[in-house]
Structure 1
């Protein structure tokens, strides 16, 4: 992932807060065997003491690939929007000469994958995921010897992804003038399509912290 200086995370807290704010779905990318393309799996995840926790169906072909090479990448992308050229045109040029771009936030984790096959460990992993995704506790007890989850555990495998490196990017034209960035955020809010509003919020947060870009 290419990161310009003005797109870099302002600090670790920025991307950690962003992930914790509900950005809990991403893509697991695993190196394929020689001559084969990488395997990519979209999935939800949770965090635990800096690790990422995932579970997938046992028939998933990704397991053989991970056993071949446990060095994986997990990528989370959000707060994205298409920015049309006229929104970015400088005041002294025709709006149609403006150059389009994409805004987005992304966090890319480099990880070492550890397989979780022990039934008790899988039950604990599911408990941690349910605590995140169903915090009200509106689910049956997850235990090896209790239905309904007990009989389902053999059908899944767990993954604990030990994070070895993190690269975070927020691509929101932070090197452009303050007035232009604020104007684009207003336009996104007004357009209000798909992820326009959270994209505008992310841009405004960066704008408030950075102000004018200083190399």
Structure 2
């Protein structure tokens, strides 16, 4: 990933928070047919202490999906977690109306997690993982669904159709492209325009732009 120094985000707590808030990741692997991408929700275990690992990612894929078998031969993987993103119009920069020397762009926040896949093809692993993911995703529902709501034989059948994967994260790369290379007035003008919009992503990017330190 192209990384100008002023867009680099390397604070662990910031990267961990984005993964926790945006758990639906793109799992990139390199199989016998070349690069492949699978889109799955992940559970993230934050590292308990500083060391070589940067946490553990856990997920499940369909048993019919060859990715878990291909990972045995080439376990290297990249998981991309995309945070809020928003289009930026040149018209939102005050300097544009003076010199007309601005162009459109996109501002965004993203984390790349690098690691190696370990296949966890056992019922107890996937049952626990599915239970935890379900509790997290259902937490905001008035009456949260739980695995016990379905017949036990049906749940066992469904669990048998999936395979667990675990990725020990060896490197986290964060890019927060938030106009840090722009003049303060231009950055503020674009941020305030986004904050006035109705989209959650636009408002999140606008607030992040105001919070980001300038490049100069």
TM-score, normalising length from structure 1? Answer: 0.84
1:51-70 CA distance string (max 9 Å, x none): 11111111113223322211
Looking at structure 1, the residues matched to 174 and 156 of structure 2 have their Cα atoms a distance apart, in angstroms, of 38
Q: Determine the structure 2 residue equivalent to 1:164.
A: 170
Query: Is contact 1:89-1:98 (8 Å) kept?
Result: no
Looking at structure 1, the residues matched to 125 and 11 of structure 2 have their Cα atoms a distance apart, in angstroms, of 33
Q: Helix, strand or coil: the match of 1:19? A: helix
Deviation at 1:76, TM superposition (A): 0.6
Looking at structure 1, the residues matched to 209 and 192 of structure 2 have their Cα atoms a distance apart, in angstroms, of 10
Indicate how the Cα distance of structure 1 residues 30 and 43 shifts in structure 2: closer, same or farther if over 3 A, else same.
same
1:130-170 CA distance string (max 9 Å, x none): 2322247531249xx93432222110001111101000010
Pairs within 5 Å for 1:50-89: 50-88=55-93
Pairs within 5 Å for 1:96-175: 97-135=101-139, 138-141=145-148, 146-175=152-181
Gaps of 5+ in 1: none
1:95-124 CA distance string (max 9 Å, x none): xx4211110100000011011111112212
TM-score, normalising length from structure 2? Answer: 0.84
Looking at structure 1, the residues matched to 31 and 44 of structure 2 have their Cα atoms a distance apart, in angstroms, of 25
Looking at structure 1, the residues matched to 29 and 154 of structure 2 have their Cα atoms a distance apart, in angstroms, of 31
1:37-82 CA distance string (max 9 Å, x none): 3010111111124211111111113223322211100001121011
Looking at structure 2, the residues matched to 187 and 131 of structure 1 have their Cα atoms a distance apart, in angstroms, of 36
Q: Determine the structure 2 residue equivalent to 1:39.
A: 36
Query: Is contact 1:55-1:156 (8 Å) kept?
Result: yes
1:162-190 CA distance string (max 9 Å, x none): 10100001001112222211110111123
Pairs within 5 Å for 1:200-211: 200-206=206-212, 210=213
Q: How many residues align?
A: 204
Looking at structure 2, the residues matched to 200 and 47 of structure 1 have their Cα atoms a distance apart, in angstroms, of 27
Looking at structure 2, the residues matched to 148 and 66 of structure 1 have their Cα atoms a distance apart, in angstroms, of 28
Query: What RMSD over aligned residues (CA atoms) do the two structures have, in Å?
Result: 2.4
Q: Helix, strand or coil: the match of 1:103? A: strand
Q: Helix, strand or coil: the match of 1:148? A: helix
